[in-house]
Structure 1
Amino acid sequence: MHKGVLPASLVILAGGKGRRIGVGKLLLAVDGSFMIEKIISRLSPLFKEVIVSVGVGQTTIAERILKKPNSCRHVKFVEDDFEGRGPLEGLRCALRAQGTPWAFVMGCDMPYIKEEVVTLLWQFCKEGSDVVCARLRGFLEPLHAFYSPSCLPAVERAMAKGALSLKSFYGDARVSVVEEEKLAQLKDYEISFMGINTKEDLSRFLDLHSSTGD
């Protein structure tokens, strides 16, 4: 496993409307703390910089959440240029703003994320790849993956065709896939990829949080 700070950026996509859960993803909170704060506190020591990608008009509220004394310092905020273009727009704007060769991109609703899974994926980031992502149960996981700015032309070509999803440009990029058997060496690796998308998901997380204190 990699030791020390990765020469990469942590990019957290926080522009989701959270329609199924009833609140914007940026505002998900547990025990008086926003979920995104917990994620940054856990993962920021791994990365050279932290970028929070928000929707149009959301920068002010994101700054209020994360610029408190003794909270998540040194966070760079990037706002979408256009509304309604989905996570692909968030990725595009973040990659243009980053100052490192790679970005680990995740959602702000992924509180189970495990540092050892992130560092294992990092081992596959190499010259000649645009994306490094895992395949679990036969599906690629685009919101728990490393992206190089070299994929920007493919992202922009996909967006020009009206694409919204993160995987829409994969066929036009050099994607390195980390198969599940490589991840299986890590205990409970599956939960690292889980997000909070519904009220039921949130209830399960709160139950787990109260039992473990994590």
Structure 2
Amino acid sequence: MSVVNVILAGGASRRFGEPKASYLYQGKPLYEHVKKQLLNEQIIVISHPNLLPFFKERGEQAVWLDDEQVRGNGPLAGIYTAMQKQEAEWYLVTACDMPFIRKETAEALSSYCNEHVDAVVPLVQGRLQPLFALYHRRCLPFIQTCIKENQLAIKDLLKKLSVCVVTEDELKAEANEFHNINKRSDLTENGMI
């Protein structure tokens, strides 16, 4: 099974006040906390234009902006771009603002990939976590349709797919793993700084 890790770092980070991917947490940018916990496969970064120099300075080789045709269409644009630019069977898509995910959880999630499902998505505390999930390449036409029809929420995409939902218990995930950082207070409220 061929897998590519995709770190989505193309958002504007308006609520946070600065690019989240480059924000230093425990001496490292948030995206590096994510990167070290992904599968042992190629990693690509879908970047915001302002962050291109930052990623290049850090030695990242596969860093792309959203494809011009879909730019500005949120996470779906990032997934679309990754699938268009890098051939693989599966794509482990992760938001750059989830610094507490664990490699063990990524590996457990990947064990649910099979030819009968289009996506493998965790269910944590009753909520789907589509920004730490695996998507098969056959999702691409569905992503294109969603973008064309301006259905930009990932939940709209999931309605069109055969989805394997995996609970946090099945993944043996830790409680805070799926906590994403939307604003600075998310770090201080949870005692993370």
**2:105 counterpart (117, 135, 155):** 117
TM-score by length of 2: 0.88
- Residue identity over aligned pairs, in percent, reads 30
Q: Which stretch of the first structure deviates more once superposed, 89-98 or 27-36?
A: 27-36
Find out whether 1:195 has 2:180 as its counterpart: yes
CA distance in 1, matches of 2:37, 2:169: 24
- The match for 2:37 is 43
Pairing partner for 1:159 from 131, 137, 147: 147
Shift of 1:33: 3.1
More helix by share: 1
Task: Output the aligned Cα RMSD.
Answer: 2.1
> Structure 1 stretches of 5 or more lacking a match?
1-5, 210-214
Distance 1:181 1:36 in 2: 26
Corresponding residue for residue 208 of structure 1: 192
CA distance in 1, matches of 2:59, 2:188: 25
Structure ID, larger Rg: 1
Residue number among 21, 24, 30 corresponding to 1:29 in the alignment: 24
Once the two structures are superposed, residues 27-60 of structure 1 have per-residue CA deviations (whole angstroms, 9 ceiling, x without a partner) of 32225532213322x135x3321110123x34xx
- In structure 2, the CA distance between the partners of 1:143 and 1:191, relative to structure 1 (3 Å rule), is same
Q: Does 1:93 align with 2:93?
A: no
| AA aligned opposite 1:197 | N
What is the alpha-carbon distance in structure 2 between the residues aligned to residue 147 and residue 190 of structure 1? 23
- Evaluate the alpha carbon distance shift between residue 30 and residue 137 of structure 1 in structure 2; reply closer, same or farther with a 3 A threshold: closer
Deviation of 1:168 after TM superposition, in Å, equals: 1.4
Q: Which residue of 2 aligns with 1:76?
A: 62
Distance 2:32 2:170 in 1: 30
How much has 1:145 moved relative to structure 2?
0.4
Query: Using the alignment, how far apart are the partners of 1:118 and 1:150 within structure 2?
Result: 20
Aligned length: 191
Q: Counterpart amino acid of 1:198?
A: K
| Higher mean C-alpha displacement, 145-154 vs 31-40 | 31-40
Detail structure 1 runs of 4+ shifted over 4 Å in the superposition. Answer: none
After TM superposition, give the deviation of residue 204 of structure 1 in Å.
Answer: 4.6
Contact kept, 8 Å, 1:37 with 1:72, in 2: the verdict is: no
TM-score by length of 1: 0.80
Q: Is the 8 A contact 1:9 1:47 kept in 2?
A: no
Structure 2, unmatched stretches of 5+, are none
